[in-house]
Structure 1
């Protein structure tokens, strides 16, 4: 990936995220149903065939004379267009000595062209979102979603780097992006279990197989990449005849064809990307490997190669693996996690690519359980499922859930998973943009016998087994991920560069000028209807009919701030237990019922709120709401299940404390807010001591105290009217009586420790990177208004790819894969935070640079005109992009309600931004974003980092394993 999508770690550090409910668990009462057995309270669900009929992405297709193929899908729900470009080149095309090349070149493609010094600045200033790229085995893609008036600009940018790139590729750019990619590799390697992917590729495939080496490649090959190498890579692979362009959104085929011809038509064809032989491999005999790593829990893998994406077995295998370990009520979950309690988590999946797939089962062994016993039982269950196959009910539930997810994906026109990408991948891999629909139709008609036969063909072959066990890490990720283990395999010969194309590319073409932006329609935010249930619960509804689904949030004014440090983890544990059985439904019945309905029900606790979330098909809304209400109001808190979920929670805490990001996040709250403020906790997971002491009685008390109608509000977005919605809500929630006791109140005004700049160094040996986490409490709360200038100042300094910190630390220095800043969305005292992983030998230099960049804004370096235009006009133009999905609208309504904003806040936001000038942004930066009193948590290898901290002039405190 090109951008700093930090394996879900940095967002966890920067935001107080809800903890989703853990996998459901069977109760003592009522009786547990067996797989496929129908519970007594079965809800009627819409037929699967009807759901499949609702998944449709109509398109038109045309091809230019130079071979570039374009797919166009018209969707007028918002004035935006998803621009998606797929190149038929990925890591499987890399010969020996060139691993990581496709991904490295993806990064270079963002470094500017002969006519555009920087692609991001004009695109983001034009309102583009999801401006990004990614590389995998079979392809490289580039995506942006732009306002309709910026389509020409986006196509100009994409055509300029396709046809006018080489004159701008320099040794300096290569060196900088090489550093960024190597830090991306270090970041992944630094995670617990971060070396498993390398081991699985090595174990399943022979040396020289195109899918064996990792897409990130080896450090040695990245170091060896020359300017000549990357130029030839571009010439051999990036011609228009190897490209699929997908335009989805507010555009039609006639308009698209004229624009694509204008911007891409004069780019000459390139060499055809050669076909590669990359068949699935059957091991001659089972293979086992054990690795030690700094992990708290033993993780077991079982892996096989599978067939190509277009194989007739592809869909049956996907569904079969989903039944085995993907469903909340999967075979492996029910047996290993719920019933026998040999594991704390388990999963099974089919990762499918153009020419082969990877079939994988994964199990985290429960601490204290004999590993051999757990592995033996895992293997028995896999063998049993392969022999028996799924039953009809399991198959129906799995297919319904997958189709429901696909319907949800139809909301996005662009990005990595939107409608444009769905069409493009079908054309690229199968020469059929409708591949998705044919696969769903096959899924809807599958029989258990077909799934069983596919599973037997592929999972009865010899298996590759991998175990990652706790201990000292003995292997080095820097040496892994390459072409071979011993380097003795003969080098594959890359295709010779086309001399004609090389000459044409080396000569700068006539200067091209970026097109002017067209008009951007004003944002249309859906109207909000409000009502109140008979017991006082407030309801807000935004009707949207783009897809036949409804999203509902039932929020309670609680969150893990309701715990305080003394009870840290109680609130989120209580919320997790809601999914673990009610007085009339077992956990398995809850899981199976939502699967039959195509619904998604989850629970969790953020800092300020405890929430039950439901996403339901409109046709199944009534029974889905009944399930939601039962889970919310009638939890069983069975003693045996509390004990089991406690075991899972303790394992989660151990996993967090094994992660560098987790260590930093858990340390920061108590440091900033102190032990006595509600925000001074380690986070939603809580502490080991508190979780170990939790009992059914404690959880029941927390439920009775905090989940009550007078602390609740309901927000709904989707395909339903208020006339249809309110009676259904009234039926399941309106008669919920308000307790006689006074409602509890969190005191968010408590004293906070005085801020002082210091470094807290947490030793994590053998870390190739250090995690830096800066924090400072601000003198503002979520109730304060008029802080839009502060939000924009934060964008200038650290929130976004073009921010100063990211431009300096990543793009210029190459010391990190990404850095980001955030102002927490808390109702009480808000905090300013900055987080980044940096290569270990640059820890001290990175701290100096970050502090200097923050101090310079605005004293030495006030906001400039380019930055001002980007964060004001760019944000205004990009507003329609932010509300494509029901979930995005739901989040905006909730935020407006929490912060006391009017319902039309987002329609007024353009005028607010237009009134903000550079002086206002500079004032906000000087008032709130200065580094003088920030605490800096460093998680890394002390023996490497300590010498770098000595000359910083900042007090340093050294701690072990996250202790404060």
Structure 2
């Protein structure tokens, strides 16, 4: 049985002359075997021994569609119960996963299924299967009223947090209006608040008995495991679990609207947005795959008809999209368009309709259809590089078996994507778009218009010693022009990931023009000396490549993933974008509008609003590091940027002497060097001289900035200060901060979510900043009526971090064990290798930092961690931001003992 890696190697046969050909779906087959236990549990196993981890993925065939009106939200609520421990291990699943070093883990619920997944080192596989089996078969006796009350509070805060975001209530409205009352899709997955509050202990116990038996589940294992070992472990831990009662399956229910539904709603959004939605057949049908292609032709690329007409030509929209929401009973085609500032909504609506009508009048051209095919197939290939998580191999196999009864359902989809004809696609589009549709305008509120044998389950399986992890050798060389290269060769999947990285992130913006770097970067793929934006997008899609830009505080990137067979022409495109951007006047004006719209969106989002203000709080408005986080800049400055300013920034920073090309994937140095010489060898330019950083201009300690958001369902609490992070052992600091605020069971989350259920989730971190202190930041969204008490808890946790509550005992042992055990999955993907190399560049570190990473982690102890924490944080030096409903919270904030002054905005 060959692994996916081995099978995918046939793609190497594609030469440069065949660069534009659509990949063969059968080359993307995921080799696997299946078996079924006597109790009905279906198991699928995929073997890949390239890294010592196994992806464990359990799918239960139950979702919100299986609920009843008046009892909604049960599937999602019960997902939360699965993380609270079980009868034989009543200590919490999150804690267990952190302890054994799991990565890429979560639980999710949608309309049709509930799934739980984690990537674990092979040393922890047996314990993981024990835990998954125990919560499958032995959860009922552990469910308590206390647990129900806690999780009701957590889910209600999750609902508030989702709906507190711009456009966060759209899909609740869409399903309620599109589906008739009582249809299984007529309520949101998270449920209605009154139903969540009304759930009783008997309700949830009945729900568990009805849906979570092994006969209603699929277990997928992918990674460093054989079928023989999988069978033995699954039989051992799952085999004796009795099946549940027979489950009644719902048949497809595709509604048809009798007439169009025209709807409007107001939300706290910066721009109006149009949503148009049509009912479609269920997932897995050829018609749905046709509509994926139709949507891919319609939008998703600068040259696609919807993007080109609405965003570039008429400039009526700042963002458009078309996608298929495929579901088991019926699917949905959704088209969106975000209205540009000052544009006419009626004109936008007419243009969307005109583009849709034109797309039905004629067959899509072969070239544009092939680009859509290649984009979708290459996206699948990139997703299946992973063993677990969304789009990973275990996820793909489990989804097909759970929802369609076929672990190779994905292959049928890929074959349709590659082979359906233009006429078939057009006919499917006619049948969908000919129906009445639902249309929703979301408009701003006026104030925001800007084994079978029995085992002893009381004994937790032992953990083996964590597998040894070796970071791949970083091969470093330079071209004659000074361009440095960092190569991490990893054969297997025929993909190559690259990031052309230059010194100069958004901190390099001119003092009077924050936002320059972001605008210049966004324009790199919008036109070159020889190609306009649409030709660049067409070449990228035909090659099956991705092309992106971005920046951090100190670095800017142009990133690309390429199929190995298409690497030469992909590098040609990368070099053209990096070296020869044209900054055409029409695109400068258009992208400027896009960035202004993004600034408004960021400011309207409570989290975005907080992140815009944190740098000023920590570094001061006049410091290069004091610009709004993310690099979007200030609206007034962006409005004044012209083509010459952008060209000047690019010319100063995008030179080979200032750049490093980071490469990871199926390429050797001997193959890569001549390609780079061909495409970058005649590039010229030396590294510019930098300027020293000015002193910090820190806001007074104890000051609180209160940003008023009337009617907000939550308050977003922020605590921040400069940290002495640059003088502290980075591994000790990473470890202690992960325990404090960087994982689901961190101290912050345990306090505000798990213990008090005031928040859906909180985080604490220290950012990187070259040549200056990093920023210590805590962000905690909480329900409005707990704002003051939650700030007191945050302050107490920060005092604990700084020394009042040292890391010791089981907490210390667990975080040290977790840090070492999670290493096998830490560098699983090419993107993780590229990110690690960029981290070396950001912090001026040598490769030894990652070569010795595992051994240095194993050498940490409590003294090192507590010393790092105490040095990094000063509880008396905090600055605060709260974004929420000032009328409800201002008085209690002023009364807090550690707040010295309140400034309102």
If the TM-score is normalised by the length of the shorter chain, which range does it land in? over 0.9
1:791 aligns with 2:738: no
Structure 2 SS opposite 1:539? strand
Q: In 2, Cα distance between the equivalents of 1:670 and 1:858?
A: 23
Q: In 2, Cα distance between the equivalents of 1:271 and 1:942?
A: 52
Q: In 1, Cα distance between the equivalents of 2:554 and 2:378?
A: 30
Find 1:576's aligned residue among 522, 528, 536. Answer: 522
Asked if structure 1 preserves the Cα contact closer than 8 Å seen for 2:527 and 2:582, the reply is yes
Structure 2 SS opposite 1:566? coil
Q: In 2, Cα distance between the equivalents of 1:756 and 1:129?
A: 37
The equivalent of 1:699 in structure 2 is: 646
Q: In 1, Cα distance between the equivalents of 2:515 and 2:274?
A: 28
The equivalent of 1:821 in structure 2 is: 764
Q: In 2, Cα distance between the equivalents of 1:60 and 1:566?
A: 61
Distance 1:749 1:915, change over 3 A: farther
1:404 aligns with 2:378: yes
Asked if structure 1 preserves the Cα contact closer than 8 Å seen for 2:22 and 2:370, the reply is no
Q: In 2, Cα distance between the equivalents of 1:239 and 1:907?
A: 45
Q: How does 1:450-599 map to 2 (within 5 A)?
A: 450-471=424-445, 511-599=457-545
Asked if structure 1 preserves the Cα contact closer than 8 Å seen for 2:302 and 2:533, the reply is no
The equivalent of 1:638 in structure 2 is: 584
Find 2:718's aligned residue among 750, 773, 784. Answer: 773
Structure 1 SS opposite 2:332? strand
Query: Bigger shift: 109-118 or 380-389?
Result: 380-389
Find 2:217's aligned residue among 243, 246, 257. Answer: 243
Find 2:894's aligned residue among 943, 950, 955. Answer: 950
Distance 1:166 1:281, change over 3 A: same
Q: In 2, Cα distance between the equivalents of 1:795 and 1:940?
A: 27
Q: In 2, Cα distance between the equivalents of 1:899 and 1:955?
A: 35
Q: How does 1:661-700 map to 2 (within 5 A)?
A: 661-683=607-629, 684-700=631-647
Asked if structure 2 preserves the Cα contact closer than 8 Å seen for 1:545 and 1:718, the reply is yes
The one-character-per-residue Cα deviations of 1:257-316 (angstroms, maximum 9, x if unpaired) are 010000011111101221124411111011101112222211001001211112121211
Asked if structure 2 preserves the Cα contact closer than 8 Å seen for 1:386 and 1:460, the reply is no
Asked if structure 1 preserves the Cα contact closer than 8 Å seen for 2:82 and 2:93, the reply is no
Q: In 1, Cα distance between the equivalents of 2:698 and 2:689?
A: 25
Q: In 2, Cα distance between the equivalents of 1:391 and 1:655?
A: 35
Structure 2 SS opposite 1:54? helix
Distance 1:353 1:757, change over 3 A: same
Question: 1:221: how far off?
Answer: 0.2
1:293 aligns with 2:240: no
Q: In 2, Cα distance between the equivalents of 1:250 and 1:278?
A: 38
The equivalent of 1:73 in structure 2 is: 46
Distance 1:837 1:221, change over 3 A: same
Find 2:775's aligned residue among 815, 824, 831. Answer: 831
The equivalent of 1:723 in structure 2 is: 670
Asked if structure 2 preserves the Cα contact closer than 8 Å seen for 1:560 and 1:608, the reply is yes
Question: 1:959: how far off?
Answer: 3.1
Asked if structure 1 preserves the Cα contact closer than 8 Å seen for 2:528 and 2:577, the reply is yes
The equivalent of 1:431 in structure 2 is: 405
The equivalent of 2:839 in structure 1 is: 895
TM-score (norm: length of structure 1): 0.89
Q: In 2, Cα distance between the equivalents of 1:251 and 1:793?
A: 33
Gaps of 5+ in 1: 1-41, 475-507
Question: 1:227: how far off?
Answer: 0.6
Question: 1:563: how far off?
Answer: 1.1
The equivalent of 1:306 in structure 2 is: 280
Asked if structure 2 preserves the Cα contact closer than 8 Å seen for 1:564 and 1:679, the reply is no
Asked if structure 2 preserves the Cα contact closer than 8 Å seen for 1:293 and 1:473, the reply is no
Question: 1:838: how far off?
Answer: 0.7
Question: 1:911: how far off?
Answer: 2.2
Distance 1:510 1:518, change over 3 A: closer
Structure 1 SS opposite 2:286? coil
Structure 1 SS opposite 2:274? strand
The one-character-per-residue Cα deviations of 1:375-433 (angstroms, maximum 9, x if unpaired) are 11111111221332422111100010111111111221112321111001111111111
TM-score (norm: length of structure 2): 0.95
Question: 1:100: how far off?
Answer: 0.5
Question: 1:645: how far off?
Answer: 1.1
Structure 2 SS opposite 1:519? coil
Q: In 2, Cα distance between the equivalents of 1:359 and 1:707?
A: 41
The one-character-per-residue Cα deviations of 1:611-661 (angstroms, maximum 9, x if unpaired) are 111111111111111111111111111222211111111111111111111
Asked if structure 1 preserves the Cα contact closer than 8 Å seen for 2:706 and 2:886, the reply is yes
Asked if structure 2 preserves the Cα contact closer than 8 Å seen for 1:136 and 1:215, the reply is yes
Q: In 2, Cα distance between the equivalents of 1:442 and 1:511?
A: 46
1:842 aligns with 2:786: yes
1:710 aligns with 2:657: yes
Asked if structure 1 preserves the Cα contact closer than 8 Å seen for 2:20 and 2:542, the reply is no
Question: 1:510: how far off?
Answer: 6.5
Q: In 1, Cα distance between the equivalents of 2:22 and 2:596?
A: 42
1:193 aligns with 2:167: yes
Structure 2 SS opposite 1:415? coil
Question: 1:353: how far off?
Answer: 1.2
Question: 1:172: how far off?
Answer: 0.6
Distance 1:278 1:768, change over 3 A: farther
RMSD (Å), alpha carbons: 1.8
Asked if structure 2 preserves the Cα contact closer than 8 Å seen for 1:473 and 1:766, the reply is no
Q: In 1, Cα distance between the equivalents of 2:803 and 2:19?
A: 62
The equivalent of 2:133 in structure 1 is: 159
1:747 aligns with 2:721: no
Q: How does 1:792-811 map to 2 (within 5 A)?
A: 792-811=735-754
Structure 1 SS opposite 2:875? coil
Q: How does 1:338-357 map to 2 (within 5 A)?
A: 338-357=312-331
Structure 2 SS opposite 1:73? strand
Structure 1 SS opposite 2:353? helix
Find 2:420's aligned residue among 427, 432, 446. Answer: 446
Find 1:600's aligned residue among 539, 542, 546. Answer: 546
Higher relative contact order (CA 8 A, sep 6+): 1
Asked if structure 2 preserves the Cα contact closer than 8 Å seen for 1:594 and 1:624, the reply is yes
Count of residues in Structure 1 that have an aligned counterpart in Structure 2: 882
The equivalent of 1:56 in structure 2 is: 29
Q: In 2, Cα distance between the equivalents of 1:420 and 1:473?
A: 47
Asked if structure 2 preserves the Cα contact closer than 8 Å seen for 1:89 and 1:237, the reply is yes
The equivalent of 2:56 in structure 1 is: 83
The equivalent of 1:30 in structure 2 is: none
Gaps of 5+ in 2: 1-14, 449-453
Q: In 2, Cα distance between the equivalents of 1:139 and 1:565?
A: 51
Q: In 2, Cα distance between the equivalents of 1:755 and 1:714?
A: 41
Question: 1:718: how far off?
Answer: 0.6
The equivalent of 1:385 in structure 2 is: 359
Q: In 2, Cα distance between the equivalents of 1:329 and 1:76?
A: 41
Query: Bigger shift: 229-238 or 525-534?
Result: 525-534
The equivalent of 2:876 in structure 1 is: 932
The equivalent of 1:132 in structure 2 is: 106
Question: 1:945: how far off?
Answer: 1.4
Question: 1:755: how far off?
Answer: 5.1
The one-character-per-residue Cα deviations of 1:310-354 (angstroms, maximum 9, x if unpaired) are 212121111111111223422100111111111111000001011
Question: 1:88: how far off?
Answer: 0.6
Structure 1 SS opposite 2:632? coil
Distance 1:951 1:751, change over 3 A: closer
Distance 1:43 1:701, change over 3 A: farther
1:733 aligns with 2:733: no
Q: In 2, Cα distance between the equivalents of 1:930 and 1:159?
A: 44
Asked if structure 2 preserves the Cα contact closer than 8 Å seen for 1:755 and 1:776, the reply is no
The one-character-per-residue Cα deviations of 1:138-181 (angstroms, maximum 9, x if unpaired) are 00001111111111100000011111111111111111111110
Structure 1 SS opposite 2:38? coil
The one-character-per-residue Cα deviations of 1:667-725 (angstroms, maximum 9, x if unpaired) are 11112111222101123111111111111111111111121121111110011111111
The equivalent of 2:10 in structure 1 is: none
Q: In 2, Cα distance between the equivalents of 1:939 and 1:374?
A: 33
The one-character-per-residue Cα deviations of 1:482-513 (angstroms, maximum 9, x if unpaired) are xxxxxxxxxxxxxxxxxxxxxxxxxx996521
